């Protein structure tokens, strides 16, 4: 039946079976497909993921869908509430801060390791990634551009050939996508490309320390593109909301 659901359009496939530590199978297919949908902002934070509904879409029974949703829950993209079901996660401000602080700790190190491990073929792959990113941006597909931008970071981690750290980065970048969906305030996403270009230059020169430094600045810059001020909580009651007005 429905096998190989995820459209394998070359890039964008930020997640693999290792991301979820699941054996190949329909559960994994659904996982990856939902994962991509969330990363490309086709599913908004907070959206309900009903087991029946998802199962209907993929032509699978609840058993399989449940497993997929639980796997996504473990990776932080989905939140499960007992007897209430699964929702696309809505990371709070606090979590957003921590995710980017963690990225600022881990990714620069990875960038340095990647610079040392970089081969000519790797460089070429990274360049192709960037081109795809530009193309998506030019065609106005913001969701895809963002997903590709994340895939660029993941590609670096893969080149560094550190599976443990790579896994962490994957998770952090997935969560970053949700955070950006919720808190991004900057109109231009072009800054992205500049940093990625600079990284590529450092990589081509096998300059580890430079790559590390650029990556750190890049993450800090991304972080600063978020509006993480405490939002006005929705008033607890309608009366409270209207009284002072």
Partner DNA sequence: TGATCAAAAATTGTATACGATCTAATTTGT
Partner DNA sequence: ACAAATTAGATCGTATACAATTTTTGATCA
Q: Under the criterion CB under 7 A, does residue 50 sit at the interface with DNA?
A: yes
Query: Is 139 in a helix, a strand, or coil?
Result: coil
Q: Under the criterion CB under 7 A, does residue 26 sit at the interface with DNA?
A: yes
Q: What is the CA radius of gyration of the chain?
A: 19
Nearer to its own copies, 64 or 136 (CB): 64
Given the structure tokens 């800054």, which residue do they identify?
191
Pairwise CA distance, residues 144 & 95, whole Å: 24
Pairwise CA distance, residues 17 & 19, whole Å: 5
Pairwise CA distance, residues 76 & 163, whole Å: 19
Q: Under the criterion CB under 8 A, does residue 95 sit at the interface with its own copies?
A: yes
Pairwise CA distance, residues 26 & 148, whole Å: 25
DSSP conformation letters of 32-54:
HHHHHHHHTTSS-TT-EE-HHHH
Q: Under the criterion CB under 7 A, does residue 23 sit at the interface with DNA?
A: yes
Q: Under the criterion CB under 8 A, does residue 163 sit at the interface with its own copies?
A: yes
**Considering only 16-24, 44-52, 128-136, 217-225, which stretch makes contact with its own copies by CB under 8 A?**
16-24
Q: Under the criterion CB under 8 A, does residue 165 sit at the interface with its own copies?
A: yes
Q: Under the criterion CB under 7 A, does residue 51 sit at the interface with DNA?
A: yes
Contact by Cβ (8 Å): 37, 72: no
Q: Under the criterion CB under 7 A, does residue 60 sit at the interface with DNA?
A: yes
Binder among 25, 37, 167, 228 for DNA (CB under 7 A):
25
Which residues in 171-210 contact DNA (CB under 7 A)?
Answer: none
- Among 103, 106, 76, which residue's Cα sits nearest to residue 89? 76
Pairwise CA distance, residues 100 & 118, whole Å: 25
Q: Under the criterion CB under 7 A, does residue 80 sit at the interface with DNA?
A: yes
Q: Under the criterion CB under 8 A, does residue 20 sit at the interface with its own copies?
A: yes
Q: Under the criterion CB under 8 A, does residue 177 sit at the interface with its own copies?
A: no
- Judged by beta carbon distances under 5 to 8 A according to partner kind, the member of its own copies, DNA, none in contact with residue 52 is DNA
Nearer to its own copies, 67 or 199 (CB): 67
φ, ψ dihedrals at 158, nearest 5° = -65, -35
Give the footprint of DNA on this chain (CB under 7 A): 23, 25-27, 48-53, 60-64, 66, 80, 82-86
Give the footprint of its own copies on this chain (CB under 8 A): 20-25, 63, 66-67, 70-71, 73-76, 79-82, 94-95, 98-99, 101-102, 105-106, 109, 162-165, 168, 172
């Amino acid at each position: 039946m429905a096998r190989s659901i995820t459209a394998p359009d070359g890039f964008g496939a930020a997640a693999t079976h290792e991301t979820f530590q699941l054996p190949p199978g329909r559960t994994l297919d659904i996982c990856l497909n939902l994962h991509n949908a969330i990363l490309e902002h086709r599913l908004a934070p907070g959206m309900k993921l009903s087991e029946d509904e998802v199962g209907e879409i993929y032509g699978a029974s609840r058993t399989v869908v449940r497993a997929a949703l639980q796997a996504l829950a473990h990776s932080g993209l989905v939140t499960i509430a007992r007897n209430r079901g699964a929702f696309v996660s809505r990371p709070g401000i606090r979590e957003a801060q921590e995710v980017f602080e963690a990225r600022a700790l881990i990714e620069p190190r990875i960038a340095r390791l990647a610079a040392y491990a970089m081969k000519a073929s790797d460089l070429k792959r990274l360049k192709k990634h960037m081109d795809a990113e530009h193309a998506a941006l030019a065609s106005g597909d913001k969701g895809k551009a963002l997903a590709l931008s994340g895939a660029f970071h993941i590609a670096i981690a893969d080149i560094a050939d550190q599976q443990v750290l790579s896994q962490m980065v994957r998770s952090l970048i997935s969560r970053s996508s949700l955070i950006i969906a919720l808190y991004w305030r900057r109109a231009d996403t072009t800054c992205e490309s500049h940093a990625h270009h600079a990284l590529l230059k450092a990589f081509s020169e096998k300059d580890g320390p430079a790559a590390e430094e650029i990556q750190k600045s890049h993450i800090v810059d991304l972080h600063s593109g978020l509006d993480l001020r405490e939002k006005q909580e929705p008033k607890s009651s309608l009366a409270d909301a209207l009284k002072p007005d």
